[in-house]
Amino acid sequence: MENAIQQANAGRSHKQGIEYQWQDALTASPIWRKITVAPMRWPKGQSIVSIQEITDQITHQIQLENYEAELLELKTNFSSLVHDLRSPLTSFKLYLDLLQKAKTGKKEKYLTIMHQEIMHMNKLVDDLLALSRLEIPDVHSLALVDIMSLVQEVVVVEQPIANDKGLTLRFLFPNEEPVWVWGQSRQLLRVVTNLVSNALRYTAVGTVTIQLKLEPEQNRVELTVSDTGIGIAPEVLPFIFEPFFRSPRAQAVTPKGTGLGLAIVKRIIALHNGSIDVFSELNQGTSFRIFLPLVRDTAVSQPSP
């Protein structure tokens, strides 16, 4: 402010305006002021200083910028969604035309491609519906879920895929005893299936490991899914749980992914009062860790709110 007054008094500026912010001592809320300095014609060397409260103006400006950013993100996501839906339909139409004109020998090939496109579109629609329907579960819809059995079920389903790729799929656990959590079995199954199938998809050589740990002192269960795959670049790691986000490396491996899987995973875990984090190193692998509240007393009929 002193610099603005000096410039005004020296005649180098007709008017100087400064915006500054500080915190309210009582509420810790941000307060904005604008100080305007204008030189006086007489007496020379004097200035008029006005202080204007502009907190509301700045707050509205910030909100508008946030709304514009959110709108741009929604438009980008919508454009991506339209493209993802249109792409298999375009391919389907193309191969349908080819099928009508094809000789008998090529019809099976075209039918296979059409089936793949339909499956991709079906997966996209399923993921969109799953994400839109996720909400805080009614306490009466929750049940005791044995995470041990649930993971074993996933291993049985995913083992043939690991075998086909020449990968090792391991499940490490402390013992054969059930590990109970409150939740919705189908949603938790979706979480584990998504993480394991992703690990297998992005791993060309090596091992995918599922590890279950009990942490009684913290009253929680830790489930880790790790791989020796392509890894995730540090600059994109903060965005992997955003809907529709897919890294360039992931797109190179599976061009037709939906970008919704990890967003669904994070939402489901949050609705189960849990948390998820991720560690990754390029060309070394990725580890996802899930933490869920552990149930010790299975005689309790409902979880505490």
Q: How far apart are CA 51 and CA 241, in angstroms?
A: 45
Identify whether 61 is part of a domain. no
- Are 279 and 216 in a shared domain? yes
Angle between helices 104-133 and 261-271 (to 10 degrees): 30
Identify whether 299 is part of a domain. no
Q: Looking at residue 197, what is its pLDDT? A: 92
Strand ranges in the chain using DSSP code E only, listed in sequence order: 16-23, 30-39, 47-53, 143-146, 168-172, 180-183, 207-215, 220-227, 275-281, 285-293
- Are 186 and 80 in a shared domain? no
DSSP 136: P
Q: Looking at residue 174, what is its pLDDT? A: 81
- Are 279 and 159 in a shared domain? yes
- Are 124 and 226 in a shared domain? no
Identify whether 146 is part of a domain. yes
Identify whether 62 is part of a domain. no
- Are 189 and 239 in a shared domain? yes
Identify whether 148 is part of a domain. yes
Q: Which of 66, 81, 93, 289 is nearest to 195 (CA)?
A: 289
Q: How far apart are CA 6 and CA 12, in angstroms?
A: 9
Under 8 Å between Cβ of 189 and 229: no
- Are 192 and 281 in a shared domain? yes
- Are 254 and 280 in a shared domain? yes
- Are 173 and 287 in a shared domain? yes
> Total domain count for the chain?
3
Q: How far apart are CA 104 and CA 250, in angstroms?
A: 36
Query: How confident is the chain (305 residues) per 10-residue block, as mean pLDDT?
Result: 54 58 74 76 69 78 72 61 63 70 70 70 70 58 90 94 95 90 91 94 96 92 97 93 84 75 91 94 96 80 52
Range of the domain at 12: 2-53
pTM of the model: 0.62
